[in-house]
Amino acid sequence: MEKLLLILIILAPFVSGIDYYVDTAGDDANSGKSENAPWKTLSRVNNADLKPGDRVLFKRGGEWRGTLLPKSGSASGYITYTSYGSGRKPRIMNSVERVSASDWQNIGGKKWRTYVPTEPGTIVFNDNITGRRKWSEGVLEKQGDWYWENGVIILFSVINPAEYYSDIEISQTGHAVYGGSNSYYIIEELELRNAAYMGWAGASAHHVIIRDCNIAYIGGGQTQVAGRLGNAIELWNEGHDLIFERNRIWEIYDAALSNQGNGISEQYNIYYRNNIIWNAEYCFEFWLRPESSKMHDIYFENNICAFSGYGFGHEQRIDPSGWHIIGWGQEADTSNLVIRNNIFYESRLCGFEAWDPDISHLSANNIDYNLYYESEGDIFCIRNRGIRISDFERYQREFNLDRHSVFADPKISWPEFRPQFDSAAIDRGTAINNPVDIEKKIRPQGSGFDIGAYEYEGSTPSEPCGNNACEPGECSTCPGDCSFAQCCPDGQCNHGETPATCPADCKVPRNWKVIYADSQETVAEDGKAENAIDQNPASIWHTHYMFSNPGHPHEIQIDLGKLHVLEGFSYLPRQDSSTNGNIKDYEFYVSQQNSSWAYPVAKGTFTGSTKKTVQFPQAIGKYIRLVALNEVYGNPWTNAAEIDVLTGYHTSDIDKNGCISQAELLQYIQDWKEVKATIKSLITAIILWKQECK
């Protein structure tokens, strides 16, 4: 029955209609029936007399502000809203732009004022940086903090915000797409973003398909409603025969996907599949009331849910949580609620939250073949009980759920969340009526369905060691199968490799360590601060950007292990194709005690992406500190591939304890007399001998 219903939904739109084109360079007086005569505005699209089988095509790269109001098709043909051309998906944004310096008025110090028509949900800077909403003007203290009241936004910024940021979008009250009770339509290949309410909202809707879309920066508005408004996809009350598939959804104030309601209704035949979701407060939310309502045949399959509770809204909510799955006191008669083949990766609070004292609607047959991973904390919260990650097997036995599921690191790569060759998700799912993955590859590619949105099509290391075939990962595990040329370089110092034979992988150890960094990104990538001193230019220190975007200044403090006479330092920015985080203005400090930094020995401005070498008058120190004051393009990040120092005269005379002997001091005096050393070097030697060797 499930397979037949799915086929009918997919095959329904067969009537041929008219294609209408929309371009920001068009004219609403045009016919819209060709690329050379496109319409211009959302208003023209919303008021068009569309018929079953018609398509509305938005030009890629374009942006339209407001709410898209799709029209109903019929059982004989869906109306489709899609894209044409090349480039970025067309954007439907319920936001206002404030990019002119005249949009902002300084009201004293670092506070700037602008006016907006309605309450915002969030502010998005430079396309992917969110501001931090505060609940009173008095607590604005960091770059990007903002406060709204009665049509006025107060923003904290060190300079005019339009000069600090290249783009500023302020989401507004309303949805990106409001379908209401309209039905028989398709939304595909669009980007829905910057709306203070929902990405798509439907009520009593049926036969709707939303696929291959991006949905981002949704919700946060109308805070009088428990501070919770804002789902990427929301069905309210009645609804059936709906498909939401192959979408990428991120930065959602509330739930990414939700079917819910608070009136007598029936929800059924709803499919959420092959979606990738990250940084939403919840990934999937379901609840329906009262008891006379019915919910059945709801399929949540082959999705990836990552970092629930780490989005922009978590810190500004009055009820922060962070769950992948949440059932809010389900009262409706519920059957065949299916949660299978999903990856649930890292949540703020709990992986699966069931508020209901009665969880009989959670069937062992329907919640299974999932992959869970939490680095710490609870993975399940059922009947007000937290199940620790160490108790996964007990959870399976006690609740008779997820009997074939696995707890393991899925080894998915950022930012695509694609499984690696040795991922536990490969071939571990169950066969279901989901014929293709997020990239439209046929399932399965291997011996079974994969868990998650992707179907892995590469080879896996199934052959044993000793077959003379060097497979991925075998440079360290099966060195006999791999030649030196195959393994150097491969990013790790393998057995038999040395700093002399493979310097790219093996570095001469030095007694340096990072003692402080104000920020480091360790979730979305390996951006730990230690990468700045690992002698590997391919690794980088990068400040936070996954869960937050703290502003400048950023700094890193390094213990050199012993006292040095320093004459300069070098800074190598990241060496990949990106310049995000490259330092512009800087200060560099040297100290013998990391508790006191005095004044910078060097400060200036960097340009370009090559190695930077800065010389300064000799300074003695065991500790160094690099402070990034800003970034080349005004973004809030900092990176460093390598930080090194230039050692000065007589550095080799300083022993491992950071001091010089009396005999060595006498040699310094003799060198000074013979004009082989400067007076500064002599003073340096006296300080070293007096302070460290008595």
- The per-residue pLDDT for 400 is 81
| H/E element, 247 | none
249-263, 323-337, 495-509: least confidently modelled range? 495-509
Alpha helices in 555-673 (DSSP H): 662-673
Q: Which residues contact 15 (CB under 8 A, 6 or more apart)?
A: 52, 53, 76, 77
91-105, 266-280, 497-511, 546-560: least confidently modelled range? 497-511
**Cis peptide preceding 419, ω within 30 of 0:** no
Q: Give the pLDDT band of residue 13 (cuts 50, 70, 90).
A: very low
- Greatest mean pLDDT among 279-293, 395-409, 508-522 lies in 279-293
For range 504-514, the mean pLDDT = 70
Q: Tokens 């199934």 map to which residue?
A: 462
Q: Give the pLDDT band of residue 691 (cuts 50, 70, 90).
A: very low
**258 or 494: whose pLDDT is higher?**
258
- The per-residue pLDDT for 653 is 39
Q: Does the pLDDT value for residue 650 go beyond 50?
A: no
- The per-residue pLDDT for 511 is 79
For 513-648, CATH number? Answer: 2.60.120.260
Q: pLDDT tens-digit profile of 224-258?
A: 544 568 999 999 999 999 999 999 999 999 999 99
Q: Give the pLDDT band of residue 379 (cuts 50, 70, 90).
A: confident
Q: Does the pLDDT value for residue 10 go beyond 70?
A: no
- The per-residue pLDDT for 377 is 72
Q: pLDDT tens-digit profile of 176-223?
A: 999 999 999 999 999 999 999 999 999 999 999 999 999 999 999 876
- Greatest mean pLDDT among 25-34, 363-372, 416-425 lies in 25-34
Q: Does the pLDDT value for residue 657 go beyond 60?
A: no
For range 364-391, the mean pLDDT = 77
Q: pLDDT tens-digit profile of 539-578?
A: 999 999 887 889 999 999 999 887 777 888 999 999 988 8
Burial zone of 503 (CB within 10 Å; 0-12 exposed, 13-18 middle, 19+ buried): middle
Task: Look at residues 223, 182, 187 and name the one whose alpha carbon lies nearest to residue 205.
Answer: 182
For range 509-530, the mean pLDDT = 88
How far are the Cα atoms of 23, 57, 111, 253 from residue 179, in angstroms, in the given order? 22, 18, 39, 20
Mean of the per-residue pLDDT values for the chain?
85
- The per-residue pLDDT for 652 is 38
343-347, 412-416, 654-658, 671-675: least confidently modelled range? 654-658
**680 or 643: whose pLDDT is higher?**
643
| H/E element, 325 | strand 323-327
Per the CB < 8 A criterion, the answer to whether 45 and 39 are in contact is yes
- Greatest mean pLDDT among 40-54, 219-233, 455-469, 665-679 lies in 40-54
Give percent of the chain above pLDDT 70: 81
- The per-residue pLDDT for 505 is 63
CB atoms closer than 10 angstroms to residue 480: 11
For range 523-537, the mean pLDDT = 89
- The per-residue pLDDT for 665 is 57
- The per-residue pLDDT for 496 is 55
